[in-house]
Structure 1
Amino acid sequence: MIKSDLVLRIAEMNPHLYERECEAVVKTILDRISEALAAGDRMEIRGFGAFSVTTTRARQGRNPRTGKSVAVAEKKNPHFKSGREMRKRLNPGQSETAE
């Protein structure tokens, strides 16, 4: 599902809202998550999951074409950990002790 599909589905589920209003809601939520991650904060949506930032430290890598050693700078990467309710939906029938 892409963002426009999500907007259409929300609009179908809420006929009292215009599609542009649903698009504004989705855009606002995604923008807020992005802003929080850019600021180094953690964003948690209960029952769904948590977004956070992980840091990959600087290291020495190799150019695959030439084999020369190159410096790879430190990077920040987004990370998502699903919530308990999400895992239960994805794996029905598994006991909670398997987590």
Structure 2
Amino acid sequence: MAIVKSKLLKQLSNNYPNFLKKDLEKFTDIILNEIKRTLKKGDRVELRGFGVFYTNIQRARISRNPKTGEKVNTPEKKTIHFKMSKDLFKKLNNEE
């Protein structure tokens, strides 16, 4: 099951009852917006102990519509990739 922003905020407010919910929401918005802004610039985002987000440029190409078989021009676009840290990998696979 995926975690959505509202559940994350609820969990943060339960773990840190001294902070106001609106402050926690502002804090998470700032962090997520900084990650977006950095990736949009083409830089990588490294969160120690969690992983690295980085962008790749997918070249323009001629692809095919699978339903009709018609050729379609696909423009160049950026894609986001994530590589988890060794620490996170070990925790997920119960290796310590």
- TM-score when normalising by structure 1: 0.88
- For the residue of structure 1 that corresponds to 2:78, the secondary structure is strand
Q: Quote the residue 1:65 is aligned against.
A: 67
**C-alpha deviation, 1:93, in angstroms:** 3.0
Aligned to 1:83: 85
Q: Report the Cα distance in structure 2 between the residues aligned to 1:22 and 1:85, rounded to whole angstroms.
A: 26
Q: Which residue of 1 aligns with 2:29?
A: 27
Gaps of 5+ in 2: none
CA shift, 1:89, in A, is 0.7
The letter for the 1-side match of 2:82 is: F
After the TM superposition, which segments of 4 or more aligned residues of structure 1 sit over 6 Å from their partners? none
61-70 or 73-82: which moved more? 61-70
Q: CA deviation at 1:11?
A: 1.0
Deviation at 1:63, TM superposition (A): 2.1
Task: Report percent identity of matched pairs.
Answer: 38
What secondary structure is seen at the aligned counterpart in 2 of 1:25? Answer: helix
Which residue, out of 11, 20, 43, partners 1:18?
20
TM-score (norm 2): 0.91
Number of aligned residue pairs: 94
Aligned to 1:49: 51
SS in 2 for 1:23: helix
Q: How large is the RMSD of aligned CA atoms in angstroms?
A: 1.2
